[in-house]
Amino acid sequence: MDGVFNVLKPPAMTSHDVVAFLRRALQTKKIGHGGTLDPDAAGVLPVFAGSATRLLEFAVEGQKEYLVELTLGKRTDTGDDSGTVIEELPVPALEQEAVEMVLKNFLGPQMQVPPMYSALKVDGKKLYELARKGIEVEREARPIEIYKLELMNLSADKLTMAVQCSKGTYIRVLVEDIARALGTCGTMSFLLRTQVGQYLINDAHTLQEIAENPEACKGELLGAVAHLPKLKLTGRQAARITNGVKTTIRGTEAGRYVLLGPGDEFLGLGTVTEEMVKADKILQHYVYVEE
Which residue numbers are catalytic?
Answer: 38
How many CA atoms, within 13 angstroms, populate the side-chain half-sphere of residue 157?
14
**Are 65 and 164 contacting, i.e. CB atoms less than 8 angstroms apart?**
yes
**Are 139 and 120 contacting, i.e. CB atoms less than 8 angstroms apart?**
yes
Three-state SS at 261: coil
Of residues 66, 84, 67, the one with CA closest to residue 75:
84
**Are 83 and 76 contacting, i.e. CB atoms less than 8 angstroms apart?**
yes
Say how many C-beta atoms besides its own lie within 10 A of residue 148's C-beta: 13
The DSSP string of 187-250 is EEEEEEEEEETTEEGGG-B-HHHHHH-HHHHEEPGGGGGTTS-EEE--HHHHHHHHTT--EE-T
C-alpha angle with apex 41: 37 to 47, nearest 5 degrees?
40
Of residues 8, 3, 71, 80, the one with CA closest to residue 38:
80
Residue 176 CA to residue 171 CA, distance in Å, equals: 9
**Are 236 and 265 contacting, i.e. CB atoms less than 8 angstroms apart?**
no
Three-state SS string across 107-143, please? CEEEEECCCCCCCCEECCEEHHHHHHCCCCCCCCCEE
